[in-house]
Amino acid sequence: MVNKMKYGKVAVGGTFDFLHDGHKAILGKAFELGEKVQIGIVSDQKNLEKDSAGIRPLEEREKDLEEFLKDQGWRSRAEIETISDPVGSTAESNELEAIVVSEETRPGAEKINEIRSEKGLNPLDIIEIPFVFADDGKPISSIRIRYGEIDEHGNIEKEEKKISDYG
């Protein structure tokens, strides 16, 4: 069965710090729906509203993103841009048709559509995907990974690693 793309070009954006299963799910949905995917990756200079202490340098985050895209066979369909605000070029592009978001980032997509409307551009279809949850039932996030609560797959990180001699 041939996978038919729904959109010519879709957008997705984020810090992509500690590329985790939530990021992979949102990217997967974007590539499932779009022939081309515009990926906005937050610059090192961006003043983030959420806890941004300790976010890895852009160069490292971009390298991990590039490797993931290549491993999935998606690199040739991706356009990566560094963004320093939550909107990037999404409010100005005539090519974009949709944006893939999580519940957390949906308000940003709605703001993008307000700006697009003011500029006389068509609104983007907003595709919201569900959170990917860790073993403890809470959403996987880079912040939780940074603090050592979980790994990039949502596995709980034990405070004490117990070593058993008994197999």
Tell me the residue range of the domain where 45 lies. Answer: 7-146
Q: Of 5, 75, 79, which is closest to residue 35 (Cα–Cα)? A: 5
pLDDT at 46: 55
> Is 155 part of a structural domain of the chain?
no
Q: Which DSSP string do the residues of 6-22 spell out, in sequence order?
A: SEEEEEEEE---S--HH
Q: What is the DSSP letter of 86?
A: S
Give the tokens for residue 93.
């592009």
Return the pLDDT at 45: 73
Among residues 120, 113, 105, 100, the alpha carbon closest in space to that of 24 is found at 100
Overall size of the chain counted in residues: 167
CB 157, CB 150: distance < 8 Å: yes
Q: What is the mean pLDDT, run by run of 10 residues, along the chain of 167 residues?
A: 77 95 97 97 69 81 98 98 91 96 94 96 97 96 93 82 43
Whole-angstrom distance, CA of residue 65 vs CA of residue 84: 17
Does residue 71 lie within any of the structural domains?
A: yes
77-91 b/e (C-beta count within 10 Å ≥ 16 → b): bbeeeebeebbbebb
Under 8 Å between Cβ of 126 and 106:
yes
Indicate if the alpha-carbon torsion angle 70, 97, 125, 16 is positive or negative. positive
Number of structural domains (the chain) is 1
20: domain CATH number is 3.40.50.620
Give the pLDDT of residue 53: 62
User: Is there a domain that residue 160 lies in?
Assistant: no
d(CA 167, CA 159): 20
